[in-house]
């Protein structure tokens, strides 16, 4: 195993998935990780009533991405040379699978649940969708 894609949203589930990835890094010294945070369109805009959409400030979106990046850096302290953080914008499951294909990863790892019920209502189950869309082995961590 040479390349692992860790899909992260900064949640506890993503942290647990990160712990699993660390076990892979220890087992496979040649492995590297792409930690990917995807900003979903539902978070980039806030709908208030039918026909009205207001964009969230770009600074707020940058803060979210930076917060997730800092969590990844903290979790993977000691593995910095083997971990690369990326962020993208789009539907999470589609974007995760596209990145996996572009980067020719050997494995996708993600948590089974993100931040909560509202996320699942807005976005659907990202992990379930990735499992169905992915062309590479996918590990969902509970």
pLDDT reading at 12 higher than 60? yes
Superfamily of domain 3-141: HUPs (3.40.50.620)
Lowest-confidence pick of 14-18, 28-32, 40-44, 68-72? 40-44
Q: Mind listing the pLDDT tens digit for each residue in 112-142?
A: 875 555 555 544 588 989 999 999 999 999 8
Question: Residue 114: its pLDDT value, please?
Answer: 58
Q: Distance between CA 118 and CA 138 in Å, rounded? A: 24
For residue 48, name the pLDDT band (cuts at 50, 70, 90).
Answer: very low
Q: What is the pLDDT of residues 102-112, one digit of tens each?
A: 999 999 999 98
Count the neighbouring beta carbons within 10 Å of the beta carbon of residue 76. Answer: 19
What's the token pair of residue 119?
A: 């996320």
Whether the Cβ atoms of residue 30 and residue 2 lie closer than 8 Å to each other: yes
CA distances from residue 93 to 27, 82, 105 in whole angstroms, order as listed = 27, 24, 15
Q: What is the pLDDT of residue 55?
A: 56
Q: What are the residue ranges spanned by the domains of the chain?
A: 3-141
Does the pLDDT value for residue 74 go beyond 90?
yes
Q: Determine the length of the chain.
A: 142
Please state, in angstroms and rounded to a whole number, the distance separating the CA atoms of residues 131 and 28: 23
pTM summary value: 0.85
Taking residue 55's Cβ as centre, other Cβ atoms within 10 Å add up to: 10
- Angstrom distance (rounded) from CA 63 to CA 71: 12
Whether 133 and 93 have beta carbons less than 8 Å apart is answered as yes
């Amino acid at each position: 195993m040479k390349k692992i894609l860790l899909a992260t949203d900064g949640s506890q589930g993503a942290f647990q998935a990160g712990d699993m990835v660390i076990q892979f890094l220890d087992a496979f010294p040649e492995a590297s990780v792409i930690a990917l945070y995807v900003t979903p369109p539902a978070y980039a805009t806030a709908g208030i009533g039918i026909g009205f959409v207001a964009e969230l400030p770009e600074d707020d979106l940058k803060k979210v991405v930076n917060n997730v990046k800092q969590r990844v850096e903290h979790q993977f302290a000691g593995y910095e040379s083997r971990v690369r953080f990326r962020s993208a914008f789009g539907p999470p499951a589609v974007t995760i699978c596209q990145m996996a294909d572009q980067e020719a990863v050997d494995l996708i790892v993600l948590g089974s649940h993100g931040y909560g019920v509202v996320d699942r209502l807005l976005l659907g189950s990202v992990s379930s969708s990735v499992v169905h869309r992915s062309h590479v082995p996918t590990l969902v961590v509970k």
